[in-house]
Amino acid sequence: MWFTYSLLTMFAWGIDSLFQKLGSDPRDKQSHWKVTMYVGFAFGIHAVCYMLYKGISYDPINMIKYLPVSLCYIVSMTLSYVGLRYLELSVLNPIANSSGAVTAVLCVIFLDQKMSAIQIAAVVMICVGIAALSFLENQHDKELRAREGTVVDSKYVYSALALMFPLMYLILDGVGSFADAFYLNKVLSEADALLSYEFTFLLVAIGSFIWVKFIRKSKFVFADDKWKAGAAVLETAGQFFYVFAMAENAVVAAPMIAAYCVVALVLSPWVIKERLSLKQYIAIAFVVVGIVILGIE
């Protein structure tokens, strides 16, 4: 079932990326906190409903046990939201989407998880496809700016400080996924891990709401935030399936799930009217073939 869970996670997070792009507003300086808030509240609602539906007796001490993993995910996600204010998406994506490969390497080294030669080849194909897509997207953006005579905003400077945001995401998300593989096999059940993460994120969401509403005094207009709210629902759905995928086969599931950017690219011509080049379709085919190989294997 890990393959099915990975596919569901990949599709949920891929569409989530599109929703976030549709809902992004560079003029809103509190945008990243609002995204964090919506995600946290969606997580909290899901956690309560899931706990009641399953009749789970949850021990809050598990939030403390799982806190190292929760913090890795929450901080990495918030940093990625902030990073979009200083780096173009086509620069941030190739770094951030490498976290699955980091997780796979850590699982092989420290958890003694194994991959067959065919699985290794498939994972390499997925990683190469993701890297190629990111490179091509960057080239496409440069060509588009050249044709339109657009000058990159000064805030999008490829400085060492700006690059720290996706690099920190890469490290924290990769380590968090690796820690998840350990926790889900040694410390907590899938349900306890899921609830611990979602309740922790809910507390962060409450803090974000207080910061945005009462300290920064930013207005909330749901008509303007509907895409952020939709993204939060999809993020929650993806997280639900992600936990079970990682519990069963983290070493292969992690790099496969990192290919969620492919889903966003494939759907972008219909959702946000972006055209893809032949080279991008070839790179997407690489990733898809890799995923099919994993499914067959």
CA–CA separation, 57 vs 219, rounded Å? Answer: 38
Tens digit of each residue's pLDDT (9 = 90 or more) over 236-293: 999 999 999 988 888 888 878 877 777 777 777 676 666 667 787 787 787 778 777 7
pLDDT surpasses 90 at 45: yes
Cβ atoms of 280 and 133 closer than 8 Å: yes
CA angle 268/274/280 to nearest 5° reads: 80
pLDDT band for position 162 (50/70/90)?
low
CA–CA separation, 41 vs 52, rounded Å? Answer: 17
**What is the percentage of the chain residues whose pLDDT exceeds 70?**
77
pLDDT of residue 154: 47
The pTM of this model reads 0.78
Give the residue, 268 or 146, on which the prediction is more confident: 268
Strands (E) in 72-189, as ranges, are none
Q: What is the mean pLDDT of the chain?
A: 80
Give the residue, 271 or 61, on which the prediction is more confident: 61
Tens digit of each residue's pLDDT (9 = 90 or more) over 174-230: 899 889 888 988 899 999 999 999 999 999 999 999 998 899 888 776 666 788 888
Tens digit of each residue's pLDDT (9 = 90 or more) over 15-43: 887 787 676 666 777 777 888 899 999 99
Q: Which residue shows structure tokens 């390497």? A: 105
Residue type, 32: H
CA–CA separation, 51 vs 60, rounded Å? Answer: 12
pLDDT band for position 157 (50/70/90)?
very low
Average of pLDDT values for 71-77? 89
pLDDT surpasses 50 at 155: no
pLDDT of residue 156: 45
Q: How far is CA 285 from CA 38, 94, 95, 147, in A?
A: 34, 17, 21, 28
**What is the percentage of the chain residues whose pLDDT exceeds 90?**
27
Give the residue, 159 or 215, on which the prediction is more confident: 215
- Which spans in 149-277 are helix H? 160-186, 190-210, 222-257, 260-271
Average of pLDDT values for 72-83? 81
pLDDT of residue 274: 62
CA–CA separation, 265 vs 279, rounded Å? Answer: 13
Cβ atoms of 163 and 232 closer than 8 Å: no
Give the residue, 120 or 141, on which the prediction is more confident: 120
pLDDT of residue 177: 87
pLDDT of residue 150: 53
